[in-house]
Amino acid sequence: MKLKAKLTAVAALAVVAATSATVASAENTLDVVKARGFLRCQVGSPSPGFYNLDADGNWYGLDVSMCQAVAAAIFGDKTKLQIQSVSTQARFTALANGESDMLSRTATWTETRDTQLGLDFVTPNFYDGQGFTVRKDSGITSALQLKGAKVCVTTGTTTELNLADFSRVNNLNISAVTFEDYNVRDNTFLNGGCDAVTTDKSALAGNLSSWPVPEDYIILPETISKEPLAPAVRQGDNQWEDIVRWSVFALINAEELGITQANVDDMRANSQDPRVRRMLGVEGNLNEGLGLSKDWAYNIIKAVGNYGEIYERYIGDGPQAIHIPRKGSLNALWTDGGLMYSPPFR
C-alpha cells in the first residue's frame, strides 16, 4: 500500500474530548498502526530543511525523514505514511488525543512539555538555538541593540517565552508582535511592520533563503536559548516510545559505523564487525523488545540513509538544503565534538 503524503489541516483538534486522550493512551500504538496499515506522523506548516513540499506535493526534510524511518522500521516501506500538517496551537493536543501517532516538527523538548502535556520526547534529532534577523541597512549588528524594538514572533511557542526572558534580563523593553502563522509573521517583517523577526536560527536561515532579496538581511550573532528539537509520542506506551527513540538512534549509530544507504546491502552480507551484524539483524535478537522484524534497522537505512546523509541532503549542502554547516556544530557526531550520540546496539 502506498499513500501519497498530503497536507492535512487539523485546526479543530484542540477541542477533542479528554476521554479520547484516555482511550488513545491505553491502546497499543504499534498494533493500531499495523492494523491501519500506515503511520500518521505530524509536522507543521511547510518549513525549509525540516518539512517542506516539492512541486508534486510530496513532503521532504529532516523531520520528514524521521517519520519515514519509523514507517520503514515497522513496515519495511517508508511510504506507508501519512504526513499531517497541524497548527502550532493544536499540535500537542493532536498527539495526546491520538490523532497523530508521533510528532516530528522542530518541537523543543522542555520540562513542562515533557511532564504536563501527556507526552514524552524521545531524543533530539537537531540541536538549535533562537536568534534574530534584521534588515542589513538597519545598522543593527547585535541583539543587544534591540532596545525598544518591535519584534515579530510566533505565538504559543518557546520562542515567544524566550524573547520575553531575553528582553527582561537585558532591560530592552522589546515589544512582541505575535502571529499564529509564520508566513504572516515574516511578511509583516518584510513589509516593515517589525524591526526584527525571531525564531530558531535554523528556521531563520531556511526562511531567509526563500525571501525575494536574501542579501538585504542578516542573522545576528547572538544565540539566546537552547532548543533541543526532538520527536515526541504519547505517554503510557513504552514499546512505542522505544520504537521511535531507537529508530532515531539507528540513524546516528549507522553513521558511527559507516553504514550508508549505498553500502547497507554489502555491509549486511559481508561485514564481520559484530556491531554491524547485530544492528542489521544478521545475528542477535535486538528486535525482540521492540516487536519488530530482525531487519528493522536495515530497513531504516535502506530507506533514508544514516543521520549524516539526511543532514547533508536537507540541512547541509544538498540541492534541497538550507546550507547550515554541520562541522563544529552541536549536530556533529560525538566523535567530531558534537552531541549526536547513540547508546550501544547490543
Rounded average pLDDT over 177-204: 94
Rounded average pLDDT over 189-198: 97
- Residue 110: domain span: 13-126+229-336
Range of 62-71, 173-182, 210-219 with top mean pLDDT: 62-71
Please count the structural domains in the chain.
Answer: 2
User: Do 116 and 20 have their domain in common?
Assistant: yes
In a domain, 4, yes or no: no
Report the percentage of the chain scoring pLDDT > 70: 92
- Last residue of one domain, picked from the residues 191, 225, 259: 225
In a domain, 341, yes or no: no
**Segment 230-266, tens digit of pLDDT:** 999 999 999 999 999 999 999 999 999 999 999 999 9
- Last residue of one domain, picked from the residues 225, 254, 282: 225
User: Do 135 and 113 have their domain in common?
Assistant: no
193 falls in which pLDDT band (50, 70, 90)? very high
User: Do 60 and 17 have their domain in common?
Assistant: yes
The CATH number of residue 242's host domain is 3.40.190.10
Is residue 63 predicted with pLDDT exceeding 70?
Answer: yes
Is there a contact between 152 and 193 (Cβ–Cβ < 8 Å)? yes
User: Do 245 and 316 have their domain in common?
Assistant: yes
Is residue 20 predicted with pLDDT exceeding 70?
Answer: no
In a domain, 286, yes or no: yes
- Last residue of one domain, picked from the residues 182, 203, 225: 225
User: Do 196 and 270 have their domain in common?
Assistant: no
pLDDT for res 15: 36
pLDDT for res 26: 52
**Segment 257-311, tens digit of pLDDT:** 999 999 999 999 999 999 999 999 999 999 999 999 999 999 999 999 999 999 9
**Segment 126-184, tens digit of pLDDT:** 999 999 999 999 999 999 999 999 999 999 888 999 999 999 999 999 999 999 888 89
pLDDT for res 181: 87
User: Do 262 and 166 have their domain in common?
Assistant: no
Report the percentage of the chain scoring pLDDT > 90: 88
In a domain, 1, yes or no: no
User: Do 142 and 255 have their domain in common?
Assistant: no
**Segment 316-325, tens digit of pLDDT:** 999 999 999 9
In a domain, 303, yes or no: yes
User: Degrees (nearest 5) of the Cα angle 74, 77, 82?
Assistant: 85
Average model confidence (pLDDT) for the chain?
92
pLDDT for res 5: 44
pLDDT for res 6: 43
pLDDT for res 108: 95
In a domain, 346, yes or no: no
User: Do 180 and 329 have their domain in common?
Assistant: no
In a domain, 2, yes or no: no
95 falls in which pLDDT band (50, 70, 90)? very high
pLDDT for res 207: 87
User: Do 62 and 176 have their domain in common?
Assistant: no
User: Do 120 and 218 have their domain in common?
Assistant: no
In a domain, 7, yes or no: no
pLDDT for res 240: 98
pLDDT for res 210: 84
User: Do 153 and 180 have their domain in common?
Assistant: yes
User: Do 121 and 214 have their domain in common?
Assistant: no
